Structure 1
């Protein structure tokens, strides 16, 4: 199989279990340590997942002193920046859960350290591994739509507000925009080739989260549960972005790409109050075009598959580490996703359009 890979996990919450599950299924991969800031939690995680021989720490810096090839960072959002910087500086490759960071400045520093050290910074957007996401990207990149000038994306749950660390700004940094909105952005921007964002005009609110009628932790809820933004990009592209954890509506609409030669509409799979966002699978793809002057709608056949996209994410990271390949979903690219989220929060707070400045990174 090749070189044995030694992995550490920083943060032992729910998502860390998914990382552990799939690392355990890969030959010659060993989880040797887990760190969690809460005393005893790392040891409990090790026991729960049967990680024989693994060491538990309550300080991630002690974990990073070990001989490790890579780490999965599964901490609350506000800790992504510090733990990633420390891990990269300690010579470890990083598999980072989304969102990349809280602010654009944090993301810039993370990418700079990755470039300086030569260590991978990979960001966890597992929906990319759905082969139907590949269909969407291929149609756009192959010119089937002509020049794309307008995109509309986002997701809306009628009722799907999380609790705990997700709803506290001091821990999460942001709400629905960072939690589920970043998936929508990655879907659209990856298909477009991640163009450079220039400006953002945004609005956010939290009418549902702060109302005890709708949320049991309303007194602690201080992030947004709804947001909408208009983003302008280089290449004269505009994106209408909207995301909601809760609303009095069944949907915020399909994702649409409008091009000079054709348009494409995509719907997410799934049903129920927690569905309707792009952290899952593709439900349908339709192409709108003209054939001999006739308005035509063509259904694009979906690829039927049994891939577990989260498993594919972990396998791809391990493969990159083992074979010395670039990050499969590089932080340098996702930096532009984070720049938009940062701009949305700045614009919504100032109630005006804001510029996005991303420096050239050597």
Structure 2
């Protein structure tokens, strides 16, 4: 066996276990460090996952003094910024869980430091690794729809509100938009080639999360559980975006791409109270077009696969480590996703349309 890639884990919450599970399936990877701000928690995590070569830390900066090829950042959202900056400046490549950051300003600095240090900043949007997501992008990028002028996307759960750190603005930064909304945005924007957003007009609410009838932690709930926005992009493109953790409805509808030559409808694969969001599954894809003057619907056969999209995400990061980059899902691209989320929250708070300004990263 050749080089062993040494990985550190920052944050030992629930999602960290999924990272470990995926890394342990890759032969040339070894997890050598775990950090968590809660004393003793990193050591408990190491024992639970039988990470015999790993050392536990209460401070991620101490762990970053180790010889590491990369780190997975699995902290609550509010800690993404500082742990990423510290890791990049310590010379480590970064696999960062979504959402990228809490504010646009933080995301901009994270990308700038990545460029300054020459270290990867890779953002964890695992739904991209569903081959059917690639199929959807391929259809659009090859011009099957003509010019796309309108996109509608989002995901809604009948009941699917998390608790704990997800519902506190001081820790999560945002609610449903940051948790599941960023996936829907990535589905649409990655398919379109990540166009530049210009303005956003948005509305958010939290009628369900703050009601004890629907959430056991209602008194602590101070993020949005529903949001909707109209986003304008360059090249005369409009996006209708909506996301909900809870609602009195079975679905917020399909993702739709309207083009001058054809339209495409994409249904999410997940169903039930916690279903209806883009978590890596595609339910059905249809193309609506005209053939010799007849309105025609063509069903696009889905790719049958057994892939774990989460494992594919981690494998792709390790592949980039082996090959020296670039980042599979680079921070400078997801910066536009973060800019939209930032604009949504600003627009909702001011109750008016706001402009989106993304500095030139260089």
Alignment TM-score, normalising by the size of structure 2: 0.99
User: CA offsets per residue over residues 26-62 of structure 1, 9 Å max, x none?
Assistant: 0121000000011011000000000002110011100
Q: Distance between the aligned counterparts of 2:271 and 2:151, measured in 1? A: 24
Matches of residues 108-119 of structure 1 in structure 2 within 5 Å?
108-119=108-119
2:232 pairs with 1:219: no
Report whether the alignment pairs 1:49 with 2:49.
yes
Q: Deviations over 1:325-346 (max 9, x none)?
A: 2000000000000000000000
Hey, what does 2:210 align to over in structure 1? 210
> Does residue 1:274 correspond to 2:274, yes or no?
yes
After TM superposition, give the deviation of residue 323 of structure 1 in Å: 1.2
The one-character-per-residue Cα deviations of 1:277-313 (angstroms, maximum 9, x if unpaired) are 0013000000000000100000000000000000000
Secondary structure at 2:326 match in 1: coil
Residue deviations 1:140-165 (CA, integer Å, cap 9, x gap): 00000000000000000000000000
Give, in whole Å, the separation in 2 of the partners of 1:2 and 1:312: 21
8 Å Cα contact 2:126/2:280 also seen in 1: no
User: Do 2:208 and 2:215's aligned partners in 1 also have CA atoms closer than 8 Å?
Assistant: yes
2:15 paired residue number: 15
**Secondary structure in structure 1 of the residue aligned to 2:30:** strand
Q: Any idea what the Cα deviations from partners look like across 1:93-118, whole Å, max 9, x if unmatched? A: 00000000010000000000000111
Cα distance in 1, alignment partners of residues 79 and 236 from structure 2: 35
The residue that corresponds to 1:295 in the other structure is 295
Partner Cα separation in structure 1 for residue 209 and residue 359 of structure 2: 36
Instruction: Write out per-residue CA displacement over residues 204-237 of structure 1, whole angstroms, 9 at most, x where no aligned residue.
Output: 0000000000000000000000000000001110
Q: Measure the CA separation in 2 of the matches of 1:108 and 1:280.
A: 27
In the superposition, the TM-score normalised over structure 1's length comes to: 0.99
Superposition deviation, residue 64 in structure 1: 0.5
Cα offsets for 1:151-199 (capped at 9, x unmatched): 0000000000000000000110000000000000000000000000000
In structure 1, the residue matched to 2:85 is 85
Mapped to 2, the partners of 1:355 and 1:315 lie a distance apart of: 37
How much has 1:360 moved relative to structure 2? Answer: 1.2
2:3 alignment partner in structure 1: 3
Equivalent in the alignment of 1:61? 61
Unaligned runs of 5+ in 2: none
Q: Give the whole-Å Cα distance in 1 for the aligned partners of 2:196 and 2:103.
A: 17
Unaligned 5+ segments in structure 1 are: none
Structure 1 partner of 2:308: 308
**Equivalent residue for 2:359?**
359
Matched residue, 2:252: 252
User: Within 5 A, what are the aligned runs for 1:309-348?
Assistant: 309-348=309-348
1:169 is matched with which residue?
Answer: 169
SS for the counterpart of 2:335 is helix
What is the CA deviation profile of residues 244-288 of structure 1, one whole-angstrom value per residue up to 9, with x for unaligned ones? 000000000000000000000000012210000001300000000
Alignment of 1:232-243 (within 5 A): 232-243=232-243
Output the aligned Cα RMSD: 0.6
* Distance of 1:136 and 1:25 partners within structure 2: 29
Name the CA distance, whole Å, in 1 between partners of 2:156 and 2:63: 39
SS at 2:247 equivalent: coil
1:160 alignment partner in structure 2: 160
What is the number of equivalent residue pairs in this alignment?
Answer: 362
Aligned to 1:228: 228
Which residue in the other structure is 2:189 paired with?
189
**Regions of 4+ moved over 3 Å:** none
C-alpha separation between the residues in 2 aligned to 1:30 and 1:282? 33
- Distance of 1:24 and 1:44 partners within structure 2: 18
State how far apart, in whole Å, the 2-side matches of 1:249 and 1:300 are.
27
SS of residue matched to 1:341: helix
